[in-house]
Amino acid sequence: MISILTEMFSYPFLVRAVIVGLLVSLCAALLGVSLVLKRYSMIGDGLSHVGFGTLAIATAMNVSPLTLSIPVCVAAAFLLLRISENSKIKGDAAIALISTSSLAIGVVFISVTTGMNTDVCNYLFGSILSMKHADVKLSIALSAVVLAMFALLYNKIFAVTFDENFAKATGIKTDIYNMLIAFLTAITIVLGMRMMGALLISSLIIFPPLTSMRLCKSFKTVTICSAVISVTCFFIGIVGSYIYATPTGASVVMVNIAAFLLFWVLSFINAKTNMISGAGASKPDNSRRD
């Protein structure tokens, strides 16, 4: 195994992919806890489709993809929040409306300007070859910003996540923090989309929190467990992708699925064990006779 890892890390593009992937996985897991609990998890899927459209346009226009994708995805995230809160269009419908429109625009733009080619598959399912030196530097800087803001505003994010009405009553400006979560999510989605693909990047947001919630109950333990699961699953996935020559994004998702099933089985066993022990404790002791 050591020889495989040594060989794997001898390739610079794989080193870049691992560094960026681990950081994005960590950011996605931390933000995913709040998104899942607030039932905003599908916003990641919607923003990934927006990112696909902007990546397609940026590539056709020979513009830096991240430079164009980040501001557009941030604007789309704010728009999704506003539509969900102040419109007759519900959140899931708004996400479907924007995501499908962006996907269609991206596909049409590519087909008209450059023709449908293998780059479309790279956008949809990801490619570790797409990470350049400039992308790595920008990704590290933005990931550090996401992690720092999450750590500094942890208590506020916790309050807004669990009881937004109570948080608002205590003077917390919930709208600002909801927009902040959307802003950080948009950045994370754009950073990870070129590697995971537009169709798979939302798995980094959804799977780790749902997996950790099988066994963990408090917000803090779920957050920590999600981060560990996300980073571990990504590393195992990219190593498996190198060994078996499978797509990186799909390999990472498969490992996340395995982790979710494992935690689900453990939670089932834990529930049965508690039930049996509880029944035994409540059963009267008739072994002693006066």
Q: For the chain, give the mean pLDDT.
A: 83
With a pLDDT cut of 70, the percent of the chain lying above it is 87
Q: What is the pLDDT of residues 77-125, one digit of tens each?
A: 888 777 766 656 666 677 778 888 888 888 787 777 766 554 666 677 7
pLDDT at 120: 64
In the chain, the amino acid numbered 20 is V
| Whether pLDDT at 263 is above 70 | yes
pLDDT at 13: 82
161 vs 221: which has the higher pLDDT: 221
Place of tokens 């049409």: 108
pLDDT at 290: 45
Say how far apart CA 206 and CA 192 lie, in whole Å. Answer: 14
Give me the mean pLDDT over the 192-204 stretch.
Answer: 82
User: Cβ neighbours of residue 151 under 8 Å, at least 6 residues apart?
Assistant: none
pLDDT at 85: 65
pLDDT at 84: 65
DSSP element (H, E) containing 40: none
Give me the mean pLDDT over the 173-192 stretch.
Answer: 87
In terms of C-beta distances under 8 Å and separation of at least 24 residues, what long-range contacts does 2-6 make, across chains too? 4/239, 4/242, 4/243, 5/239
| Domain 2-278 coded CATH 3.40.50.1170 | no
Confidence of residue 207 (pLDDT cuts 50, 70, 90): very high
Q: What is the pLDDT of residues 11-48, one digit of tens each?
A: 888 888 888 889 999 999 999 999 888 877 777 778 88
pLDDT at 8: 81
* Contact between residue 20 and residue 191 where contact means Cβ atoms under 8 Å apart: yes
Q: Domains of the chain: which residue ranges?
A: 2-278
Confidence of residue 232 (pLDDT cuts 50, 70, 90): very high
